[in-house]
Chains A and B, each alone.
Chain A
Amino acid sequence: MKKISAIIIVLFISVGSYAQNNAIAQLFDQYYEDENFTKVSVSSKMFELFTKIEPGDEDEKEILDAISKLKGLKVLAADSVQDSRKMFNEAVSKVSSNGYEELMEVKDAEEDMKFMIKEDKDVINELVMIVGGKRHFVLISLYGIIDLKNISKLSKSMNIKGMEYLKNVDGKDHK
């Protein structure tokens, strides 16, 4: 009987962690058909191709440097959803049960945001950012070797406001 209980416990744990592993994939699947969402996915193959791009100016060079060690990117964004806060909470709870460590959380009147990472020997190899505003929701997940300093430098040098990202992606016909 003890053996059977042990087996059942192991089964539940494995089922649990199996489900957890797919938390981000699940979120993308969940909103895949929803036309309110912009879905962007860039594979490691594409990142390899980026290395062949000739940098046009200094800014682009900096960006190319920052992405040179990245392996994948996924974006899920919407700027006019009713229950964005609820979605934010749902996404946070799904992702945090996925073994991600919280890096930073910022809450203000405008929006809530959360940065979560997965580290291996002091190297960040996954970064998930979830933003939930009054009507907007953004989830970006980044894979590869992630240098936060490098990424943080980008906007300082280019001085682009974050919300412009949403304005830019909105209305485009994406897959």
Chain B
Amino acid sequence: MKEMDELKKKYWKGRTDRDEERSLKNRPFSHDTTHVEDIYFQYLNEKKNEKINFPDFDVEIIRKIKGQQGEQRFISKIGYWRLAAAVIILITAGILFFNNQSGTQTSAPPPENLVLTDTYNDPEKAFEETKKALLFISNKLNKGTELTSEFAKFSETQENLKKEN
């Protein structure tokens, strides 16, 4: 008992190690003990053996973890959607871009995409038609340039008049 009293003193001074504390708590207590310290250690011992068992708590934690995983999966789903959308957009843009490129290449001197079929099979007729078209262009072109040259003459005369005055 004396040993116990020594241990108790040491305990209250905060100098006991874990084994000493265990021997303080684990010793057999008389049920009707009135000693305050003994009641205290008895209480500690009882509490130590008590298992924490909150089923709701576990369920709650597991639910939360699962929920978080679900969210993560949802985020990664959005990620994949974004990725997929970006890939589709890139492919479409690429196709259109390259089509466009080839379009401009062919539309340079001979744009075969425009001149798909000949209206005439007979070169003579086609030539006649080409001749007419060219003459038409030529005529209109001259109409424009004549107007321009007339205007040029006019402004030249105007300039000359200004100089003379």
Contact = CB atoms under 8 A, between A and B. Distances in A.
Interface of A: 3-4, 7-8, 10-11, 14-15, 17-18, 21-22, 24-25, 28, 39-47, 49-50, 52-53, 60, 63, 66-67, 70-75, 104-106, 113, 115, 120, 125-127, 129, 131, 138, 140-145, 148, 151-156, 158, 160-162, 165-166, 168-169, 174-175
Contacts of B119: 39-42, 174-175
B137 A151 contact: yes
A11 B89 contact: yes
Contact of A75 (B86, B112, B118, B129): B129
Given A42-B120, A155-B142, A165 B114 contact: no
A74 B114 CA distance: 8
Contacts, number: 180
Contacts of A148: 141
B96 A11 contact: yes
B110 interface: yes
Given A8-B89, A40-B119, A44-B115, A14 B100 contact: yes
Nearest to B102: A21
Contact of A72 (B82, B89, B99, B111): B111
Nearest to B107: A21
B99 A152 contact: no
Given A11-B89, A72-B114, A162-B136, A125 B127 contact: no
A44 B131 CA distance: 15
Contacts of B100: 14, 17-18, 21
B118 A141 contact: no
A57 to B, nearest CB: 12
A-B pairs with lowest CB-CB distance, top 6: A162-B139, A155-B138, A165-B136, A71-B110, A72-B115, A154-B138
Interface in B8-66: none
A52 B140 contact: no
Contacts of B93: 7, 10-11, 14
A42 B129 contact: yes
